[in-house]
Amino acid sequence: MVMGASGSKLEKALGDQFPEGERYFGLENFGNTCYCNSVLQALYFCIPFREQLLEYYANNKTPGDAEENLLTCLADLFMQISQAKKKTGVIAPKRFVQRVKKQNELFRSYMHQDAHEFLNFLLNELVDILEKESSAAKDSPQSSSPEKAPNGPVQPLANGVKKEPPVTLVHKSFQGILTNETRCLRCETVTARDETFLDLSVDIEQNSSITSCLKNFCSTETLNAEDKFFCDKCCSLQEAQKRMKIKKAPHILVIHLKRFKYIEQLGRYKKLSYRVVFPMELKLSNSSDDVDTEYSLFAVVVHVGSGPNHGHYVSLVKSHNHWLFFDDENVEMVEEQTLQTFFGTSHEYSGNTDHGYILFYEGLGGKS
């Protein structure tokens, strides 16, 4: 642990407003690991997730025969931060990064990586580990539970009974349910299929807002002409309307802005620097609930740079009503107003290349 100069400056800036029991630590960069550091900071300040992870780790850790995995490395890192003696400083997440590279060859190179891919990989890996440990704890006669991707469809079994995967602490925090509805325009039959998600990936448009991007995500799409829908009731291809509805809103809503778009002519990905504003508060309508879920923004992972393979990631995190800026080792306090500089730009070729990429919203307890 290294006490940096920026750390003491942060303590001075906060003064007696420094939250009790909180720690603000930068993470060392081992060569293009900022995609990892920025996501880790956002997850660390997802308080329900952090608390559940540390509690699970404390309850289930058996010294000696414990096998090291991504969950233990993440929990160790979180423990290192939360139990540090100093309030500020820098920590080297060496074990965690090594474990990531060992488990996924995609992250083995020293190339720049996509933060959203890393977040998806990490959450799904944690789910796998927790489900294995859960089934092992049950001493189930099944030797191996079937592999199930959390973002995939919930497949009904042959006898029509759904086999619900165990609810892990990851699901408690991040999982929501989408309903894909298809309505045949001839017989008006609605076919619904549920799908779980840990985050929402939304397309973006220039000079829009997260509100309108989410609206477009749930907007109605017509299937006609060459793209007709085969209706089981009509036993033929018919025109239909398809749409997505949020059946169950997650406790932590993670929104991924699709800023990297494949351009056929160029044969590579291009970054969309579109200006997409995001508010500090948000609401989602549940189709199964009568009330709307209210959310508060607590973290933003920002991509810095002009393309997917060049650049840098930083994160902004809200902690006890302060906003903090984490740039690998450096931690400093910023004003809420600063978040507006990461909305994007209205001009395609402006100098500003800092754009909000992954938004983290926490559900407020009561529903309005």
Q: Catalytic residue positions?
A: 34, 312
Return left, alpha or beta for 25; rule: phi > 0 is left, psi -120 to 50 is alpha, else beta. beta
Size of the site for another protein (CB under 8 A): 40
Decide: is 117 part of the binding site for another protein (CB under 8 A). Answer: no
b/e code 144-160 from CB counts within 10 Å (16+ = b): ebeebebbeeeeeeeee
Decide: is 15 part of the binding site for another protein (CB under 8 A). Answer: yes
Separation CA 112–CA 29 (nearest Å) = 12
Span interacting with another protein, options 1-9, 113-121, 150-158, 343-351, rule CB under 8 A:
343-351
Provide the token pair at 79.
Answer: 């423990």
Separation CA 310–CA 273 (nearest Å) = 14
Q: How far is the CB of 22 from another protein (least distance, A)?
A: 14
Q: How far is the CB of 286 from another protein (least distance, A)?
A: 11
Which of 1, 3, 13, 149 touches another protein by CB under 8 A? 13
- Give the torsion sign (CA, 99, 102, 106, 111): positive
Separation CA 8–CA 359 (nearest Å) = 29
Decide: is 275 part of the binding site for another protein (CB under 8 A). Answer: yes
Contact 63, 144 (CB under 8 A): no
Which of 98, 140, 155, 211 touches another protein by CB under 8 A? 211
Decide: is 205 part of the binding site for another protein (CB under 8 A). Answer: yes
Which of 1, 2, 3, 17 touches another protein by CB under 8 A? 17
How many other C-beta atoms lie within 10 A of the C-beta of residue 336? 13
What's the length of the chain? Answer: 368
Span interacting with another protein, options 75-83, 91-99, 173-181, 333-341, rule CB under 8 A:
333-341
Provide the token pair at 320.
Answer: 């006890």
b/e code 287-324 from CB counts within 10 Å (16+ = b): eeeeeebbbebbbbbbbbeeebeebbbbbbbbbeebbb
Decide: is 219 part of the binding site for another protein (CB under 8 A). Answer: yes
- Enumerate residues 283-312 that contact another protein by CB under 8 A: 283, 285, 290-292, 294
Decide: is 224 part of the binding site for another protein (CB under 8 A). Answer: no
Q: How far is the CB of 354 from another protein (least distance, A)?
A: 11
Q: How far is the CB of 282 from another protein (least distance, A)?
A: 6
Contacting positions for another protein (CB under 8 A):
13-15, 17, 205, 207-209, 211-212, 216, 219-220, 275, 277, 279-283, 285, 290-292, 294, 321-322, 333, 335-337, 340-341, 345-347, 350-352, 368
